Structure 1
Amino acid sequence: MKFSEQLVAAGQPILNEIYKHPFVDGIGNGQLPKQALTFYVGQDFNYLNAFIKVYAAAIQKSATRADMTIFAKQIDFILNSEIHPHHNFCNVAGVKYETLQHEAQAPGTYLYNEHMYNAARTGDLIDIVSAMTPCPWTYLEIANRFVKQGKNSDDNVFKPWIDFYANMADDGESVLSQLFDLIDREAPKYDQHHLDVVKEEFLKSCELEWDFWDQAYYQKSWQFVEPMKQYH
């Protein structure tokens, strides 16, 4: 079994719980509270800003231009394409996207971003990629599941969101397969201890994906947010 297949197998139980989360279920059913949608967009804008920076760190640790190209294309994708699912949520919620681009990081967003930054600060290329891959992996799996269930029907207000992520694999070799291939290429360079660390990084990101949905659905902010406002 390839190392990337081991990661997917280990993460599958968490993905199964993500499928059942009320936010994700709400996308499939076309019904979500406005507050959950706006909270998600504000935090995901924050998260994707960090994602771009960590992709830039991956470029710094890449030995070939082929690897650099993978990450450069993903930076471009986030900056110029991944705004579309955000617009879908904003349109449904009846708010302007621009009004949600200056939100302070909620606790779950802060934790997830720091988890990725730590992989970039202290790890090798395989650590960075393993910490980042659960995001595209889980989103593609969610969208494909909805498509198979016929949830991307014209009467679902979140059809654009579902179609956007389901179509990520349509442009030749998907970024997900490229990232998994990179992990499998790098894995033989490391002993079992390091690979166990990599697997833990992957699984932590899987759980943080679940937590990100949960945070948005219940609008979880800092418990003592008032004293912090003067510094934001």
Structure 2
Amino acid sequence: MTETGVASPAAPIPPDSLVGKLKAACPQDWRNYAGHAFVRKLAAGTLPEASFRHYLIQDYLFLIHFARAYALAVYKSETLADMREAAAVVDALLNTEMRLHLDYCARWDLSEDEITETPEARATLTYTRFVLETGHAGDLLDLLVALAPCACGYGEIGARLIADPDTKLDGNPYREWIELYGGEEFQTVTRNAVAQLDSVAARRIGEAPEDSGRWPSLVRIFRMATQLETDFWQMGLERTE
């Protein structure tokens, strides 16, 4: 993986999509996130296990609020199609992804009780409350933009790691994580999230979002969420509370 975090051709975020345009508006913030040392060490298999365990715990706590945010998206939706799409994500998070996350954590000697009894780190709390507050104060588009660095960024990172010949897979303790987010199932999740944002944006602000009066606000939301994602990686790397 390159240190700059530049996306490979395999990345599932087209440059002409809303997320692609938001990335282009915040290039350094996106590079800091997608090319963070936490990710580079995952790819090399050199991330300290204590850092990964800390990240896994906080990521589960994050998923709880991620599900709440998509539940809020159901409420904020204006069409039945948007409601169904958001509700499907809530169902997948609560009944599939969080269970699989716990199963994966168990292989790292982390019990459900240990995870759920751990307080949220400041980075987790700050990020999740920003997303929820953005959704409460704004509309569905604002909320989805705040969710985009997570909902779409992990897919891009996974695709790049899988495609990068410098990524170590054999003997890498984090191979399963890399293959999860680089695999086709999660790439489909990412493409769906990108498409949902494009659909909502087209109805709200037209086909040229950068020409809309809301563009500066959307860029600010996306930039802040991306910076908070970077802080989340750093929290895992440093094992900060």
Q: Same-fold call, TM > 0.5?
A: yes
- Name the CA distance, whole Å, in 2 between partners of 1:162 and 1:86: 17
Deviates more, 1:124-133 or 1:96-105: 96-105
Write the mapping of 1:3-152 to structure 2, written as runs, cut at 5 A. 3-79=18-94, 80-81=96-97, 83-84=99-100, 87-88=103-104, 91=107, 93-150=108-165, 151=167
Displacement of 1:188: 2.8
What RMSD over aligned residues (CA atoms) do the two structures have, in Å? Answer: 2.6
- Name the CA distance, whole Å, in 2 between partners of 1:94 and 1:33: 15
Residue deviations 1:129-160, cap 9 Å, x none? 11011102211111011011143634322222
- 1:224 aligned residue: none
Aligned counterpart for 1:185 among listed residues 192, 203, 223: 203
Unmatched runs of 5 consecutive residues or more in structure 2: 1-15
Q: Is the 8 A contact 2:62 2:128 kept in 1?
A: yes
Q: Residue 92 of structure 2 aligns to which amino acid in structure 1?
A: F
Matched position secondary structure for 2:26:
helix
Given the alignment of the two structures, is residue 218 of structure 1 paired with residue 238 of structure 2, yes or no?
yes
TM-score by length of 1: 0.83
134 and 184 in structure 1: CA distance in 2 versus 1, 3 angstrom threshold: farther
Deviates more, 1:127-136 or 1:72-81: 72-81
Aligned counterpart for 1:169 among listed residues 178, 181, 187: 187
Given the alignment of the two structures, is residue 201 of structure 1 paired with residue 201 of structure 2, yes or no?
no
Q: Is the 8 A contact 1:39 1:219 kept in 2?
A: yes
172 and 14 in structure 1: CA distance in 2 versus 1, 3 angstrom threshold: closer
- Name the CA distance, whole Å, in 1 between partners of 2:189 and 2:35: 29
State percent identity of aligned pairs: 25
- Name the CA distance, whole Å, in 2 between partners of 1:186 and 1:17: 30
Residue deviations 1:161-201, cap 9 Å, x none? 11211231247953333234323432239984433112111
TM-score by length of 2: 0.80
Unmatched runs of 5 consecutive residues or more in structure 1: 222-232
Deviates more, 1:123-132 or 1:171-180: 171-180
- Name the CA distance, whole Å, in 2 between partners of 1:89 and 1:154: 21
Matched position secondary structure for 2:229:
helix
Matched position secondary structure for 1:174:
helix
Q: Is the 8 A contact 2:18 2:194 kept in 1?
A: no
Q: Residue 22 of structure 2 aligns to which amino acid in structure 1?
A: L
53 and 170 in structure 1: CA distance in 2 versus 1, 3 angstrom threshold: closer
Q: Is the 8 A contact 2:152 2:193 kept in 1?
A: no
Aligned counterpart for 1:158 among listed residues 153, 174, 177: 174
- Name the CA distance, whole Å, in 1 between partners of 2:189 and 2:155: 13
- Name the CA distance, whole Å, in 2 between partners of 1:218 and 1:68: 38
Q: Is the 8 A contact 1:108 1:208 kept in 2?
A: yes
Matched position secondary structure for 1:81:
helix
Aligned length: 220
149 and 183 in structure 1: CA distance in 2 versus 1, 3 angstrom threshold: same
- Name the CA distance, whole Å, in 1 between partners of 2:217 and 2:58: 27
- Name the CA distance, whole Å, in 2 between partners of 1:36 and 1:184: 40
